[in-house]
Structure 1
Amino acid sequence: MFNVMASQRLILISMSTLVWFLMQAAPCSAFTVNCSEPNQPALLKALTPLFNLSSIRPVMNTSTSTNVNISFIIYGILGVDEKSQLLMTYLWLNYRWMNEFVTWDPTQCGSDRIALPRNKFWVPDIVINEFMDENTAPEVPYVYLHSDGLVRDALPAKVVSSCNLDIYTFPFDVQNCTFTFNSYLHYASDIKIFLHRTVQSITERSKNVMTTMGEWELLDITFHDYLDKHGAEYIDELAFHIRVRRRATLYVVNLLIPSCFLITVDLFSFLLPPQSVDRSSFKMTLILGYTVFLLIMNDLLPITGNTIPLINVFFSLCLALMVASLLETILITNLLCGSVKDSPVPHWIQVLVLQILGFLVFLPRKAKNSDMEQNVAVIKLDAVVGPLREKGPVVEDRVVQELRSLATDLRALRLQVEQQRLDGNQSSEDWIQCCLLKVKPSKLLFIFIFLLMHAGSSSSMLNCSEPNTPSLLEALKPVFKLNSIRPVMNLSTVTNVSISFTLFAILGVDEKAQIFKTFIWQSLRWRNEFVSWDPEQCGTFRISVPRKLLWVPDVVINEL
């Protein structure tokens, strides 16, 4: 009998566990599309309810993260702007993620995939952090939807990204630029980013299909994945490091070889006869020609504020040597032409320079006035601090006595409070009234004032039929119809907008036009009084929707 009851109890526990599991798994399952005919029009008609859910992330439970697989191909390196610290590339981006709202039978619908417009689906807000300009690549309006819910998106992008360039070894420099992919708004609990192909495959395919083979050459691509902390949340980021090398042949032919030719001609100018003035005029012509060469070369050399390239140091030394050779020529010509007219150096000048000044050079260094003042200050400081050091124990004993007295008073006060608490004859209200402060709380008055303060600003509570995102989206439709007005119940209520921004790059300063070019990430926060919901009833405490469905404050930068 006991075994029968135990077995029945075990069966009941197993059935209850199975029912609970099915109830938990039911909201997270995708609905199957039924096609009337195995063709594209029937499949499109069956997918029509799915298009109404394009405003939310395609998961039944918001605690489920959407895994986005990323890969790209570099089609061309368009150029590098050393002055603005920008790298210009042309990419083909590939994104893959799962849509939990839809599946279908390929045999029943006649196809295992279909190409549909991008605006009919939710698309992850994956951006490149270093992106510094608008995308001027052609627009691809379609994405592929597979029968198992896989969404595949591919689009071209002209990426103008910031890159910290090190041009110390110009023109033989190798630059390392970074592409950081992450979600603009969603945290790691919502969107996780993974690498779809290996970096070796991305590098090989990029080298094979690269069409723009100009000044820069692609060496390799590496990556690492990490979480960027933003307060209590994390943002999943995938960073690619792209190493490119400059082809230095053009700069060697146009810059280094002509400069070496001019220095060689300047050295051979010493073979000219020093008695004539032809050598000086020839060197002056070389210096003027080299100055013009530097002005022309200024447009080719990179300009940066971090380091000075070695090639600039080389050109400066060449110019300094040419000026030194000109001064030497002038000195030699002056000595040769004016030695007959000049008298020999007087004896007293030789004695002054060689004996007196030479003896003065080796004299010991005298103590400076600042050192003497410092020594006097140290002596005065010792004279002041000495008596204080002697009185130190006395002051310390006085402080200890004060602390002990204060501790005795606090101990006596604590004993008195405990005695009053243990005494049952005197109530707590009598104990409070015997003190200086008389407290008479009124709970009803407090509740009445609280209701008056919050009556005008209360928001409408949403009711969700199920704890999932589709039911929450359905409950939010009346709120979306009010996106044309400011979200306050009373027009006299002010909408407080909190603003913060991150300065990502300083693109440049145009002094002539008085323009300052920057790239910032702006963040706005405000409260919508038209909506509120119970997180337990709706299954989540937040949801991401398109910006066009809500009222957005018209906060602008006046100097834009």
Structure 2
Amino acid sequence: MDTNAALLRFVLLSALFPTNVFCQSGKDVNSLLTYLFTTEGYNKKVRPLTDQSQAVDINVDFFLNSVIAFDEQDESLKISGFLECSWTDEYLTWNSSDHNNISELFIPQDDIWKPDISLRNTFKSFTGLGATYLNAYVSSAGDVRWNPYQVLESTCSIDITYFPFDTQTCELKFTAWSYSSDQVELNKGNKGVQLEEYVENSAWALVGTSTRETNTDEAAVFFALKLKRRPNFYIINAILPVVFLSILNSFTFLLPVSSGERASYAVTVFLSLAVFLTIVANELPKNSQKTSLLSVYLMLMNSLSTFIVILSIAEVRIATRNANTKPVTKGYMTFIKISHFITCKTCKKSVTPAKVSTPKARKRLDLEDNITWTEAVDAIDIVFFWFSLLFTFLCTLILGAVAVNGDK
């Protein structure tokens, strides 16, 4: 009874939901290929249009897999991904009912017509897309889909003004090399740049993509990648040490001239800044038309350090002067007055009233009497300590703010 019930259920379901089951064999596929390439005489050298006066419309999308490397010095971008190219081949059509309902085929890419799409702005070698072992999908309606996977290396113009907070935009230009726009038109597809399989790069963040096409003088489609540098590595290993060294630069003036270590300390800071300038220079494009703000900052700090070294050596010489034989001049007295203002000091020296006829004369004598060259050097140190510290602070604040916000 159970067997009869199951049989009855199968007959009823078959009557209500009829289906056609086809078993396609290798002979059916071989017969179809013979029909297309022998009987119909398919020729891959002929553009796939019955009307050869028309242009073949090819839709192109790009699937980005990863950003492998971005070389700022060589100004090159290396990525991996594949194109999805689709078009209609009017010579690759068949009636599926005549071939045991075969509705699709996978044919080696070199056996059918395909556009000779190439990366126009390639960096090293100029090669065609795809490989001999790749297949193209073909439907019975003549729809062809070709997905050539490739590791692409293109040129990319670098703007290092805001390094290491910079954002770079690189374009991949694909053209149908041998064909004019009257013969082949490359159109951007509906998908654009696809990121389903994209793997993030540790040094660069992908912040945007865009696609455009041109079919005027030549057929070309452009895929733009907007990459923002991840600056943490450079902040920790370059920027912060440079800022700390710049601050130490100002503290040269806190060392007494009598210690004998001031000039050597100043030279050490100068050489340290020069080393970091070399490191940063090695990270930047050698032929760049623009200058990095970080390089400008390093040059300003090196210039300040050079001035401090020269001033430190000069102060050693000035401190050895004898005030009795060579009194402190008015120019140095200006530094003393400024240092008194900065440190909020007032001179209250006792002066004989008979020698002072006016309050102005009293004030001048209070400043000029008994001033040694060592005191003059100390006053110069106070003035230039605060000047260099303020200069360093303003340069760091202004150039840092411009670098961080300038490329947004």
TM-score (structure 1 length as normaliser)? 0.50
Q: 1:195 to 1:296 in 2, by over 3 A?
A: closer
Q: Establish whether residue 117 from structure 1 lines up as the match of residue 108 from structure 2.
A: yes
Q: Are the aligned partners of 1:225 and 1:237 in contact in 2 as well (CA < 8 Å)?
A: yes
- Superposed structure 1 runs of 4+ greater than 4 Å apart: 35-38, 135-138
Q: Which residue of 2 aligns with 1:130?
A: 121
Rounded to whole Å, the distance in 2 between the matches of 1:254 and 1:218 is 23
Alignment of 1:335 onto 2:325: no
Q: CA deviation at 1:179?
A: 2.1
Does 1:39 pair with 2:28?
A: yes
From 39, 56, 64, give the equivalent of 1:66.
56
Match of 1:512 in 2: none
Q: How far, CA to CA, are the matches of 1:292 and 1:37 in structure 2?
A: 70
Query: Would the alpha carbon gap of residues 53 and 136 (structure 1) be closer, same or farther in structure 2, given more than 3 Å must change?
Result: closer
Matching of residue 271 in structure 1 with residue 254 in structure 2: yes
Partner of 1:293: 276
Pick from 149, 163, 170 the counterpart of residue 163 of structure 2: 170
Distance of 2:28 and 2:248 partners within structure 1 = 82
Distance 1:163 1:343, change over 3 A: same
- Alpha-carbon distance between aligned partners in 2 of 1:214 and 1:76, rounded to the nearest angstrom: 11
Alpha carbons 2:163, 2:292 under 8 Å: kept: yes
* Contact 1:215 1:246 (8 Å CA) reproduced: yes
CA distance in 2: counterparts of 1:163 and 1:99, whole angstroms? 35
For residue 147 of structure 2, give the secondary structure of its aligned residue in structure 1: strand
Deviation, structure 1 residue 345: 8.9
Q: 1:96 to 1:81 in 2, by over 3 A?
A: same
Q: Aligned partners of 1:141 and 1:165: how far apart in 2?
A: 35
Structure 1 pair 136/321, CA: closer, same or farther in 2 (3 Å)?
Answer: farther
Cα distance in 2 for residues equivalent to 1:264 and 1:175: 32
In the alignment, what sits opposite 1:389? none
Matches within 5 A, 1:207-286: 208-229=196-217, 235-286=218-269
Change (3 A) 1:123 1:246: same
Q: Identify which of 292, 295, 303 aligns with 1:312.
A: 295
- Code of the residue aligned with 2:34 in structure 1: it is K
Deviation at 1:105, TM superposition (A): 2.5
Query: What is the distance in 1 between the residues matched to 2:128 and 2:42?
Result: 30
Give the Å deviation of 1:52: 4.6
**1:55-87, Cα deviation, whole Å (9 max, x unpaired):** 121222211221111001111112222233222
Q: 1:97 to 1:137 in 2, by over 3 A?
A: closer
SS at match of 1:186: coil
1:151-550 equivalences under 5 Å are 151-199=144-192, 202=193, 205-206=194-195, 208-229=196-217, 235-340=218-323, 343-344=326-327
Q: CA offset at residue 128 of structure 1?
A: 2.5
Aligned AA (1:98): T
- Structure-2 residue corresponding to 1:48: 37
- Residue range with higher mean Cα deviation, 303-312 or 254-263: 303-312
Structure 1 residues 52 and 260: CA distance shift in structure 2, 3 A: same
SS at match of 1:47: helix
What SS does the corresponding residue of 1:196 show, helix, strand or coil?
A: strand
Partners of 1:286 and 1:226 in 2: CA distance: 55
Aligned partner of residue 285 in structure 1, secondary structure = helix
Q: Deviations over 1:95-140 (max 9, x none)?
A: 1111111322234323211111111111101222212333699834
Kept in 2, the 8 Å contact 1:38–1:108? The answer is no
* 1:108 paired residue number: 98
- 1:79 equivalenced with 2:62 (yes/no): no
CA 1:304–1:82 in 2, change beyond 3 Å: closer, same or farther? farther
AA at the equivalent of 1:284: V
Corresponding residue of 1:376: none
Instruction: Give the Å deviation of 1:53.
Output: 0.5
Following the alignment from structure 1 to structure 2, what is the Cα–Cα distance between the partners of residues 341 and 136?
87
Q: Which moved more, 1:320-329 or 1:266-275?
A: 266-275
C-alpha displacement at 1:198, in angstroms?
A: 3.5
TM-superposed CA distance for 1:268, in Å, is: 2.2
Q: How many residues align?
A: 303
Please tell me whether the aligned partners of residues 165 and 230 of structure 2 are also in contact (alpha carbons under 8 angstroms).
Answer: yes
2:139 maps to which residue?
146
Cα separation, partners in 2 of 1:127 and 1:136, compared to 1, 3 Å: closer
Q: Give the CA deviation at 1:39.
A: 2.8
- Contact 1:36/1:42, CA 8 A, preserved across alignment: no
Separation of aligned partners in 1, 2:128 and 2:238:
34
Deviates most, 219-228 or 84-93: 219-228
User: CA offset at residue 188 of structure 1?
Assistant: 1.8
- In structure 1, stretches of 5+ residues that fail to align are 1-34, 230-234, 347-560
- Tell me the distance in 1 between the aligned counterparts of 2:320 and 2:199: 66
Residue type matched to 2:241 in 1? P
The separation in 1 between residues aligned to 2:263 and 2:324, in whole angstroms, is: 22
Q: Distance in 1 between matches of 2:72 and 2:325?
A: 57
RMSD over aligned CA atoms reads 2.7
1:468 alignment partner in structure 2? none
Q: State how far apart, in whole Å, the 1-side matches of 2:67 and 2:291 are.
A: 25
CA deviation map 1:400-458 (0-9, x unaligned): xxxxxxxxxxxxxxxxxxxxxxxxxxxxxxxxxxxxxxxxxxxxxxxxxxxxxxxxxxx
Q: How far apart in 2 are the matches of 1:261 and 1:154?
A: 53
Cross-structure match for 1:544: none
CA distance in 1, matches of 2:26, 2:257: 102
TM-score by length of 2: 0.68
Question: 1:197 is paired with a residue of what secondary structure?
Answer: strand
CA contact 2:123–2:154 (8 Å) conserved in 1: yes
The amino acid across from 1:105 in the alignment is: N
Are 1:93 and 1:155, in contact at CA under 8 Å, matched by a contact in 2?
A: yes
